[in-house]
Structure 1
């Protein structure tokens, strides 16, 4: 290994690289984002566009980025520039995206730390309604179970119904069950204490049935009996949802875009701790980080399977799972659903952010990244589906006990995972232990993805200024410090609005444009045949049918599919909102600006290369002399004289081939 290569670092083994890709790709996007997108887009129907996008766009781009990084041993900023000078801005665009994502993504890690700390308390705070931040609408499933257990025999129900106006149909139904219902009244939890269902229904001019603790019924004499759920009548909000929205986020205290509210000091401290941990991991480098990946990549599956098993045993879980797997086909006609599927694939796999190019740039030149791409993509998809089963089982349980449909349990949004999963933990033996394990799992998932993103940023800096490699620790610490400062506004009571705006725009339509640019570069400029030859140089022998699959994806299917989704997504674009709060128009403008900043480097750097006139005509679309494997590039750079360079090329077939490839034009 050359000194330069040694300075840059290498993975200790091919397995470490696979695990690092798994740790990066299998992250919070699977556990946090995928379930809420299914929740928002009709359950099982979302799996159809998601699967199509995964294999026609996600996997081809994933493999493409791994090849670029491994073949060149460079980060995206330098690699794409050398492949075609006109596409110099592509690497910078991916850098802007990963910077924006890294800043707001770390807030989620801060939340997991806050939850983990509170998990050590004798009573898990999201399971109770007895805190200052709770409202009278707070509903605790644990407290409700205590109310049910306190039910005693009483004549209240009988006395009430001797005078209440009721319909004949209701009377017939009640008479058939009176002998089996001796314990009255039915009790439920509301406004910090237990109340009888009878009294709650009466206060709203309705009546209660003897076997129904979740609904009230109309008191008219008509045969058309209607029911209303207590959940909607009382405006109930799960205690876990209030803990997340009011305590963790500080939302609900009147903050908006005009009044940002006070700072959430606990979140700020957790954010600082999260960035300190990230900085320590970054300073250690890929050689040390690879060892940690053995744990961070595998441990989450233990917890996910445990939560799935527990969730499946809860009463009503089947309803949630049925909603999850039952496709609502009418949603497939909405472009927004396909746009969400595309953004989720890009988000979950980490495409268009430069991180995969960076990770693979530390791989051995002859590593089988084709195998790695297939394994990671399939495991990523299965992990998303597994997380969906876990979370919808819990939603089914909650819907059953609250007397509502699955979509009405909690608000659809990023906080879904911070409501449903913690609620599941409450119903497990030793809930504190499982809470610590779960939030440590989320922390591992988030940190694994973040380290890869931060490596992309620091690698881009050190590839641009190689002398900084001697000060890698300072570069890493400085990067983390800047990102921490940029994330401070999201620690205020109104910070969730900025978080939502970044999530809505930074990894949405702009990242589709980056994906289109990558496929155009490989499929139409650099050439798929030449790209497949580069793959063969690295020792990967692909069958003819597999080559045809990759070529058809890079040249036709991926760019056309992404272009179509981009057009329809922009046509039906919905401005960002949080819950019932819709952002002002000037905030929507900022959102568009955030998306535009991610793609502006593409045309700007193209015009810069044309203006500088370092390359003319077709030279802008051809690889530069520096493009190629690192070991050949270093040999050429180390030749002190032009004559000795040509002599060397004349006596080394591999180097001659490298020189000939660089002299060719477009090869499609």
Structure 2
């Protein structure tokens, strides 16, 4: 019982102030940036609404069962994953360490997104939002500004200030168009069509003719190969290679991509991002100073505020012209995509990513709950709210994409490049068209900051808890443990602040939270469903006061024993079979880089076999003892009671020869019960 005497799982770990605080903490952890920027871009990449089908199936057959499983393990044992899984079955000692490796990798690269939100938030206070203009030195001639284009349209009836258009000879334009000059001179003079290109306004006619094509009246978004009614159309967007100003701001100014950096030439430091990254880690460290006592209070705001902004953006997006087309693309399922294993792999990955499964954070959060907390109710609430939030964010972003597609004359998938930057392109673009855009921009990016910080606090709590569970004496120095953890992660994240940093970010995102967490999820279900036993696990649940109906028990048992492990195993096999090497935009990473990516994924699961072999080699347990709970496994208050009794008996034995009366005293455990 030495681990107990050292304070593992003891009362000094701290507790949530209320059950609501725990629910909001789980909600703040689960509902994060993945719902806003990852779920929509996966829908975007996998054909829109069809992605909702595998996502929902994965949610209820794998996501929810694992979510509830992790909450039960943490609440029942009052331990972090590194200790809890080891006590459930010594052979699975590496499972806790595997989750720790995953959360460390995710925490390091995830925080760079928070740094981007801080940079955007500061720039939102400028008189002119910088991502709405093409007048910056980092912009290219392909830059397309919606705001400038609207100015060109507003000036169509004003002859002065046009570029690339011969205003003195409307007859020549009519000839280019192929119209009858006698009928169209008046039309050309009174209804010229203008659009923004290369920092100024140009006539659609001149742009089309420069490409050897024709323009037609009342169409400013396309050029045609003839003037016939059935002429083939080509969008000006693709013809001119236009790139949204908000996309250039994100890729060229914030990330520094596009200036020649690659894996061999990492480029210069993006000092603005580095300063913002330092600020992000400093804020996280402040939130961790008092452990759950301070982190729990932060969750009240980070969990609720984002919904105010998301609903506001949805309402505004739905009122924009073309929004219906984007929403239709979102909800219209393309069933043929369901035959692709990659779609199912993305769905499983998103469920794990959004709910934070396989990272140990849920075990950590629930380890601070009261023993009789109804975590079954909490698991269902958080999972459903998480799913609805992803769908809500999808409606918001696709409404905006529909508006952009309508205005640019392209299809929804052609608006911007899909990827993590989708939320840093489509949402900021929508903000430009809202009244008081600076105010909305600040609110939006502060929302992203809150979403990211809420998830990060839970992840950091998992790391610091693992440290303090391993060395309980450090609990007296929680603040320094948190500060030291944040400092180390900050240093590890510095390479992502260079111009080539987005490539490292992409590599980490591609590999650290993909196939490795599927293996961890399989290991967790095998541990509970086949080693520890579903009946014993359900008995532990009833010990905590959760009396589940028989049908519900059968649902959990069937998921833990059969459906979840088989489903995850199938997705893992197909995902590995159809695995695509990492790339960013049109830049495909070298083979040696993808080798590093595989290594990053492998590092997350290597602890499982290595520590299992180590446990067998140590021979502390023999045979079936490796698959049975240790004597330390169980509720914290029972371990505490046993430990106090040991101390009492030892004290009584030592003082018998001096004064038996001195040993007559009551011992009361942490729940106020006499021992």
Structures share a fold, TM > 0.5? yes
Offset at residue 280 of structure 1 (A) = 0.5
1:157–1:198: 8 Å Cα contact kept in structure 2?
no
Which residue number corresponds to residue 195 of structure 1? 202
Distance in 2 (alpha carbons) for counterparts of 1:448 and 1:132 = 36
One of 17, 38, 41 as aligned partner of 2:43: 38
Distance in 2 (alpha carbons) for counterparts of 1:191 and 1:24 = 44
Change (3 A) 1:29 1:176: farther
Offset at residue 306 of structure 1 (A) = 0.3
Which residue number corresponds to residue 10 of structure 1? 15
One of 590, 599, 604 as aligned partner of 1:598: 604
Which residue number corresponds to residue 176 of structure 2? 164
Q: What secondary structure does 1:521 align onto?
A: helix
2:226–2:232: 8 Å Cα contact kept in structure 1?
no
Taking the TM superposition and a 5 Å limit, the aligned residue runs for 1:616-627 are 616-627=622-633
Distance in 2 (alpha carbons) for counterparts of 1:533 and 1:147 = 70
Offset at residue 182 of structure 1 (A) = 6.1
1:301 equivalenced with 2:285 (yes/no): no
Distance in 2 (alpha carbons) for counterparts of 1:593 and 1:604 = 15
2:68–2:376: 8 Å Cα contact kept in structure 1?
yes
Q: What secondary structure does 1:164 align onto?
A: helix
Which residue number corresponds to residue 315 of structure 1? 321
One of 214, 226, 236 as aligned partner of 1:207: 214
1:153–1:183: 8 Å Cα contact kept in structure 2?
no
Distance in 1 (alpha carbons) for counterparts of 2:510 and 2:609 = 23
2:174–2:188: 8 Å Cα contact kept in structure 1?
no
1:30–1:383: 8 Å Cα contact kept in structure 2?
yes
Q: What secondary structure does 1:429 align onto?
A: coil
1:137–1:237: 8 Å Cα contact kept in structure 2?
yes
Distance in 2 (alpha carbons) for counterparts of 1:100 and 1:64 = 23
Which residue number corresponds to residue 259 of structure 2? 253
Distance in 1 (alpha carbons) for counterparts of 2:183 and 2:342 = 50
Which residue number corresponds to residue 48 of structure 1? 53
Which residue number corresponds to residue 397 of structure 1? 403
Taking the TM superposition and a 5 Å limit, the aligned residue runs for 1:41-440 are 41-152=46-157, 158-164=170-176, 166=178, 183-219=190-226, 225-440=231-446
Farther-moved stretch of structure 1 (4-13 vs 389-398): 4-13
Q: Which runs of 5+ in 2 are unaligned?
A: 160-166, 652-675
Q: What secondary structure does 1:297 align onto?
A: helix
1:181–1:211: 8 Å Cα contact kept in structure 2?
no
- Which digits, 9 at most, give the CA deviation of each residue in 1:50-109, with x for residues without a partner? 000000000000000000000000000000000000000000000000000000000000
- Which digits, 9 at most, give the CA deviation of each residue in 1:559-584, with x for residues without a partner? 00000000000000000000000000
Distance in 2 (alpha carbons) for counterparts of 1:401 and 1:183 = 22
2:526–2:560: 8 Å Cα contact kept in structure 1?
yes
Change (3 A) 1:259 1:505: same
Offset at residue 489 of structure 1 (A) = 0.2
One of 19, 37, 60 as aligned partner of 2:24: 19
Distance in 2 (alpha carbons) for counterparts of 1:224 and 1:23 = 54
Distance in 2 (alpha carbons) for counterparts of 1:480 and 1:16 = 23
1:153–1:184: 8 Å Cα contact kept in structure 2?
no
Distance in 2 (alpha carbons) for counterparts of 1:373 and 1:641 = 38
1:156–1:185: 8 Å Cα contact kept in structure 2?
no
Distance in 2 (alpha carbons) for counterparts of 1:513 and 1:601 = 12
Q: What secondary structure does 2:234 align onto?
A: strand
Which residue number corresponds to residue 665 of structure 1? none
2:314–2:395: 8 Å Cα contact kept in structure 1?
yes
Offset at residue 26 of structure 1 (A) = 0.3
Distance in 2 (alpha carbons) for counterparts of 1:46 and 1:177 = 49
Offset at residue 156 of structure 1 (A) = 6.6
Distance in 1 (alpha carbons) for counterparts of 2:182 and 2:279 = 63
1:46–1:341: 8 Å Cα contact kept in structure 2?
yes
Offset at residue 179 of structure 1 (A) = 8.2
Distance in 1 (alpha carbons) for counterparts of 2:532 and 2:223 = 67
Distance in 2 (alpha carbons) for counterparts of 1:582 and 1:504 = 13
2:124–2:438: 8 Å Cα contact kept in structure 1?
yes
Distance in 2 (alpha carbons) for counterparts of 1:157 and 1:197 = 15
1:205–1:219: 8 Å Cα contact kept in structure 2?
no
Distance in 1 (alpha carbons) for counterparts of 2:530 and 2:556 = 13
Change (3 A) 1:55 1:178: farther
1:153–1:182: 8 Å Cα contact kept in structure 2?
no
Distance in 2 (alpha carbons) for counterparts of 1:95 and 1:429 = 45
1:506–1:598: 8 Å Cα contact kept in structure 2?
yes
Q: Which runs of 5+ in 1 are unaligned?
A: 646-668
Distance in 2 (alpha carbons) for counterparts of 1:123 and 1:642 = 71
Offset at residue 315 of structure 1 (A) = 0.5
Distance in 2 (alpha carbons) for counterparts of 1:162 and 1:349 = 60
Offset at residue 284 of structure 1 (A) = 2.6
Offset at residue 184 of structure 1 (A) = 2.9
Offset at residue 178 of structure 1 (A) = 8.9
1:153–1:185: 8 Å Cα contact kept in structure 2?
no
1:480 equivalenced with 2:492 (yes/no): no
TM-score by length of 1: 0.93
Distance in 1 (alpha carbons) for counterparts of 2:319 and 2:169 = 33
Distance in 2 (alpha carbons) for counterparts of 1:182 and 1:515 = 68
Change (3 A) 1:199 1:466: same
1:157–1:185: 8 Å Cα contact kept in structure 2?
no
2:74–2:80: 8 Å Cα contact kept in structure 1?
yes
Offset at residue 635 of structure 1 (A) = 1.5
Distance in 2 (alpha carbons) for counterparts of 1:156 and 1:329 = 54
1:308–1:393: 8 Å Cα contact kept in structure 2?
yes
TM-score by length of 2: 0.92
